């Protein structure tokens, strides 16, 4: 009985701490507002194009983008999510496959695009590539 109670408490604590660490990212919902914010704050953007029925999008958000190290790195970006099924944009090309992530400058130039699910380690590499291209673009 004590072992079951201990296991339950441990699992509850882990789930609660995961929920607390999740959601640290602030996602803009309006692309133009995100560009305005990026321009005002001199920050690049990360635009995630997703779909309502995309299980890989959900995995990408939960397993990769909610990772503490990734959320820390993404604080240097204005983040925006676009639902491919609901919104069309003149600034971001139509994403045939989702999730597709675009790393962009505030003046709407795409520096890097990534399609599909990536684990934390691989996504760090994509952020590195985007940051290197940002440095060269300045």
Q: How would you class 129 by CB atoms within 10 Å of its CB: exposed for 0-12, middle for 13-18, buried for 19 or more?
A: middle
- Give the pLDDT score at 60: 97
- For residue 111, what is the enclosing H or E element? strand 110-115
- Give the pLDDT score at 1: 56
Given a cut of 50, the residues of the chain with pLDDT beneath it are: 5-22
Q: Does domain 25-137 have CATH number 3.40.30.10?
A: yes
pTM value > 0.85: no
Domain chopping of the chain, boundaries: 25-137
């Amino acid at each position: 009985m004590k072992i079951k109670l201990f296991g339950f408490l441990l699992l509850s604590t882990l789930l609660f701490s995961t929920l607390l660490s999740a959601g640290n990212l602030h996602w803009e919902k309006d692309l133009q507002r995100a560009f305005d914010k990026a321009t005002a704050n001199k920050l690049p953007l990360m635009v995630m194009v997703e779909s309502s029925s995309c299980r890989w999008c959900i995995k990408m958000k939960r397993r990769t983008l909610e990772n503490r190290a990734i959320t820390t790195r993404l604080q240097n970006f204005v983040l925006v999510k676009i639902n491919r099924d609901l919104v069309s944009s003149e600034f971001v090309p139509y994403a045939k496959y989702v999730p597709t992530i675009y790393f962009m400058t505030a003046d709407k130039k795409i520096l890097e695009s990534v399609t599909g699910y990536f684990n934390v380690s691989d996504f760090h590499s994509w952020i590195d590539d985007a940051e290197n291209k940002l440095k060269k673009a300045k």
